[in-house]
Structure 1
Amino acid sequence: MDACTLGDLLDVVGGPALRLHTAPAGQAVPVTEAVLYDGRTPLPRTPGALLLAVGVPAAQAGPLLRAAAEAGMTGVVVRGADGPVAQAEAHGVALLSVAEDAAWHHVHLLLVSAVTAGPGTSVTADTGLGDLFALADAIATATGGATAVEDPRQRLLAYSTVAGQPVDEDRRQSILGRQVPASAENTEQYRRLFAADRPLRLPALSGADLPRLAMPVRAGGETLGSVWVVDGGTLAPDAEDTLAQGASTAALLLLRARAARELARHRGSDLLRRLLDGTAPDAPTAAARLGVDGPARVAAFVLDSAASVPDAERTALRLLDVVRLQCEARYGRHAGVLVDGVVYAVLPGPGERHRRLAEDIVARAGQALRVPVRAALGEPVPGADGLADSRADADLVLRVLDAQLPVATVEEVRARVTLLRLGEVMGERRELNAGAWRRVLAYDAGHGTEYARTLVCWFDAGCDMAGAAKLLAVHPNTCRYRLRQLQQHAEVDLDDPDERLVLWLQLRTLAGLRATTR
């Protein structure tokens, strides 16, 4: 992506949101980031940055312009229209302004979004995407307290990094574990917070901790999380108003993040569907976008058709969520797709652990959904071009699974799926489904004999008469007599190995006969 210039930035957010007063170096100068001014620390050297003059009146920004120039910054943004243009030109830095009532954290998010998006991206003051970490920094700078953004389950989503602000052990542990430490006192504070509709001041949980200023984050009646500010005794007088504004912006960001995740999942599902049905125009590129680069195999998960499922469609969607969650936990970014009641996922890398993952998903999904789940794994393929074949393998494996074998790889059931496919091909071709097997079945049907079953048992016993007799629970002489009679009445030559092979295949695949129940 091309570097963002001052001109690009103005094209994106210029106008009422951001006014340019002067640009001594021209509008082709780069803009690399937006930085919030903190008067307690010296400006770091950040070439190309725009400095937001937080807490500095526009008319008194002269010294800040000089410091920005010495730090290699591109320009300074002040609040209000009366900035020192002459001093900006003297120091060679651009001077920009925002409205007097603009919230600094909102301006910061807007500029961060525009700089990150780069040239040609439409961003407005009302639709800036921003970043939760940038929001936390902006709130921390404006309120004077270290800030954290959490989800409803008390998981830490973002935190401020403004230097010099007081923190306590509770905040340190939250950042290290990405989760607020659990305690009965904490639970009570969250109960009070989520019942509030305004910023709430909460006491320290222990003598070593600090009080907090907190605000729930809501949208349309839904609680999306919360924003917390550490109160070290030096919060700004308008900290509550700033926090309320920040929580409103956090709601926007969290909703957009959710929408972006759903959009990414939808696109990922569409890409995966095309890969699996072989219609992706560029399979390697599509697979790389899904995080699959190299060897992989397709796994298929399905609800047990024999189980009673009141709402099968909804349960299948829940199965999709379980598969996605487990695959994302194992492989990071990952796509899953539901097609005709079957959940498919691509498992990247060597296949040694794929079966164990499938078993774990089957166990977890079965417990969560209260419905037995089966899983099939296709053959590993070297690259994305083979995923459609691996999916076809998985589909075949699903058809031979049962309660005794709920999870299997195609290698484990190769004989079963081969016979399954042979049966389908032979059933479709007249020349392959004609022959002696029909005469054997017809004779049994007309005379009440068991010649077909006797033949299958004899074949399964390796043409050993004693073994066949054991499977049939008859005397070996009875077995011999049946086979002699069969050859006479059905015109079968059991001395011909080719005829024996074809007859076994037809009885096994077309008639579906087995010597024993498996």
Structure 2
Amino acid sequence: MLDTGVPDLAQVLDALGSSLLRPLTALPEGPVPVSGVLIFEPRAPLPNVRDAILLAVGVGTAEARAKELVAAAAGVGCACLVVKSFGEPVADLVDAAQRSGVVLLAADEAVAWHHLDAMISTALASTVRFEQAAGAPAAGDLFALANAIAGMVGGATVIEDPRRRILAYSTLPGQAIDEGRRQGILGLQVPTGPDYDEVYRALVKAGRTCRFPAFRGGLPRLGVVVRAGSEELGSIWVVDAEGDLDAAAEQALSDVADIVSLHLLAARTADDAVRRRRADLLRRLLADPSSVTAVAPQLGLDPNQPVAVAAFAVVSSRADDVLAAHAATRLADLVSLHCEAHYGRHGCALIDGTVYALLPSGPSPKAHHELVADIARRAHGALRVPIQAGLGSLVPGLRSIVSSRADADLVLRALTDRPGEPQPCQVATIDEVWAGATLSALAQILAAHGALPRSLGPAVRAHDLEHGTTYADTLLAYLDADGDFAAASQRLSVHPNTIRYRLSRAEEIFGFDLADPDERLVLWLRLRLGDQVGW
């Protein structure tokens, strides 16, 4: 029924598309058979698997071992070698590949290696298996694919993502559908309910084509999960209106799941490319508001439309830097998806660990706050790390976007500088944390003026560190208590006279005057903000 011949490299590249894999060397005139995918492991010799596609994970194109890997790949008979250049020169590696007779391919640097592995493996499994469906649709054309499946299997077809959103549906005439499918297509979402939940659980657990009887007055169906490796990408559903879809139809649906996984992965890659471009545009706009004339049309925004900037960040300790970077990337994806659902594809960017999103003016500022809070809660639930979000002020147009971003950044700093352990999810505007935001802004000013005299806060802390004294803590307790000796002594668990003695000694040692309100204010600020400015 299906051709199970060996795929050709040119066919695989056609199926994946040039945006994913780009030849750096000319393809041979004749066919190049491909047997599978290998991932380079530097601590082990290459397995002797002929005609494999070798993924050079972690190997820079300018490194000496890249040329060594080309020679090793040729030695075991690999069909081609896939690299990521990340801007490094490739000319020498191209020459080495041409001399060795190994095809050299450049992968899209933004596509993770494990996704690339899954996409190539799916392409290999499906390239020659869909030949009977004349004019098989190009990767990403899901509606044409749904029609091809409907014609092959024999029933109205729907392709869904893991969240039961309908991505495509067949439109062949004469194929019966029921009310559930009709409502799903109208809203591009499968109806909710316990019956549906049970069906999806059974389908995922089975891992093969399943038959489901009619319920709620609907029609029977065949269903199959679409996967790339262990990752669930979605599902395919075919209506069995007459109950006559046989075992051959079940097998055909199972076989076609490989092709659908390739299309879904390709569609995801295309979406990622679009999202990266919007992120680049937003970065440009935030760095240079004068570019608004060129950037706004590409983001689909009116330059004079009021807009706010929201900033999201993962809270982590220094020990969690690697995990935090990974979480920040996932956070950017979550923020982008939620903002697209509410405002369209305007832009979301990850910049130095902070995720920024544009929020065009809505019905009210409260709507922005509610959306940001909802995104932060969902992100915390999905990532299981503390999330902070700052909502910048609404500005009259994109030319003032830097001001809104500055507000959002200041809110994040104020939330970060709050004493105590970070809360699981914190969201605020500049008006809600004005006191902390003001102190954070002052800390920036103090940190930027290293020429200011250091005879107050820094000198006190340095003395305490050298002599084992507690003048800084005593002064802060006294100033925080607004000059109340009893309250300060209670906070430090010492006698009020001890507070008086320490303050008197501090005035003698450091030369300030606690009776002077200006000196009290500056002293408090320098002690209070010392950690933030590195004192």
TM-score range, shorter chain: 0.5 to 0.7
Deviation at 1:432, TM superposition (A): 1.9
Paired AA for residue 421 in structure 2: A
What residue is the counterpart of 1:412 in the other structure?
432
What residue is the counterpart of 1:463 in the other structure?
483
Deviation at 1:166, TM superposition (A): 4.1
Q: Secondary structure of 1:494's match?
A: coil
CA distance in 2, matches of 1:212, 1:423: 64
Q: Does residue 341 in structure 1 map to residue 353 in structure 2? A: yes
TM-score by length of 1: 0.56
Alignment equivalent of 2:402, drawn from 373, 381, 388: 388
Q: Does residue 373 in structure 1 map to residue 387 in structure 2? A: yes
CA distance in 2, matches of 1:456, 1:477: 16
Distance change in 2, residues 1:263/1:442 (3 Å): closer
What residue is the counterpart of 2:282 in the other structure?
272
TM-score by length of 2: 0.54
What residue is the counterpart of 2:331 in the other structure?
319
Deviation at 1:179, TM superposition (A): 1.9
Matches within 5 A, 1:15-414: 132=143, 147-151=156-160, 153=162, 155-160=165-170, 166-175=176-185, 178-179=189-190, 182=195, 195=208, 205=214, 225-226=235-236, 228=238, 231=241, 254=264, 257-278=267-288, 281-282=291-292, 285-286=295-296, 289=299, 293-305=305-317, 308=320, 311-333=323-345, 335-349=347-361, 350-396=364-410, 397-398=412-413, 399-401=416-418, 403-405=421-423, 406-409=425-428, 410-414=430-434
Deviation at 1:282, TM superposition (A): 1.8
CA distance in 2, matches of 1:220, 1:456: 59
Q: Does residue 492 in structure 1 map to residue 512 in structure 2? A: yes
What residue is the counterpart of 1:5 in the other structure?
none
CA distance in 1, matches of 2:370, 2:244: 54
CA distance in 1, matches of 2:216, 2:456: 91
Give unmatched runs, 5+ long, in structure 1.
1-102, 108-124, 514-518
Deviation at 1:269, TM superposition (A): 1.6
Paired AA for residue 407 in structure 1: Q
Distance change in 2, residues 1:145/1:303 (3 Å): same
Deviation at 1:267, TM superposition (A): 0.9
Superposed CA RMSD in Å reads 5.2
Alignment equivalent of 2:522, drawn from 502, 509, 512: 502
Provide Cα deviations, 1:400-444, integer angstroms capped at 9, x if missing partner: 256344514333333334333433433443542344556656776
Distance change in 2, residues 1:368/1:167 (3 Å): closer
Deviation at 1:265, TM superposition (A): 1.0
Distance change in 2, residues 1:172/1:430 (3 Å): closer
CA distance in 2, matches of 1:128, 1:300: 34
What residue is the counterpart of 1:38 in the other structure?
none
Q: Secondary structure of 2:452's match?
A: helix
Contact 1:297 1:377 in 2 (8 A): yes
CA distance in 2, matches of 1:445, 1:298: 40
Higher mean displacement: 210-219 or 483-492 = 210-219
Contact 2:156 2:177 in 1 (8 A): no
Q: Secondary structure of 1:432's match?
A: coil
What residue is the counterpart of 2:35 in the other structure?
none
Contact 2:153 2:253 in 1 (8 A): no
Deviation at 1:360, TM superposition (A): 3.8
Distance change in 2, residues 1:386/1:302 (3 Å): farther
Distance change in 2, residues 1:385/1:130 (3 Å): same
CA distance in 1, matches of 2:485, 2:450: 33
CA distance in 1, matches of 2:358, 2:272: 19
- The higher radius of gyration belongs to 1
CA distance in 1, matches of 2:221, 2:467: 91
Deviation at 1:324, TM superposition (A): 2.9
Contact 1:272 1:335 in 2 (8 A): yes
Deviation at 1:268, TM superposition (A): 1.4
Give unmatched runs, 5+ long, in structure 2.
1-130
What percent identity do the matched residue pairs reach? Answer: 40
Contact 2:390 2:409 in 1 (8 A): yes
Paired AA for residue 157 in structure 1: L
Matches within 5 A, 1:8-19: none
